[in-house]
Amino acid sequence: MSKILDALLKNFDTETVAVIHLGDHGHPGPVTVAFVTVDKTISIDDKLDKAFMLTNSIDDAWWNNKDVTKMFDGDSCRSTMVGDMVLIGKVKYKYKSSGWSKI
């Protein structure tokens, strides 16, 4: 397939969710730190889990992950943690120690 068709098909099957961190270390918050591309057909819980997983540094800095677009200034950013949020469409979810809650 052509590159244009590949790009169109990718956008047809996916959506972008925003990862929002609360302020820390003197930085004001909340602030959108990343956009994560997820499959449109998976459940909300799976979208949340994918956004969380891809914005945590494991083997490499999380902003180097394939489906992540870095939105923060500077050279680094902490991983997503309890208290941070993910925006899917017009609905925001907060990560709590017991999982996700709609806010």
Q: 92: which residues sit within 8 A by CB, 6+ positions away?
A: 20, 85, 86, 102, 103
> What's this model's pTM, rounded to 2 decimal places?
0.85
Q: What is the residue extent of each domain of the chain? A: 15-98
Instruction: Retrieve residue 96's tokens.
Output: 């709590």
| Residues linked to residue 91 through DSSP beta bridges, in sequence order | 88
**What does 9-36 look like in DSSP terms, one character per residue?**
HHHHHEEEEEEEEPP-TT--S-EEEEEE
Q: 56: which residues sit within 8 A by CB, 6+ positions away?
A: 62, 79, 80
Provide the residue-wise pLDDT of the chain in tens; the chain has 103 residues. Answer: 566 666 666 667 899 999 999 876 566 779 999 999 999 999 999 999 999 999 999 999 999 999 999 999 889 999 999 999 999 999 999 999 999 999 9
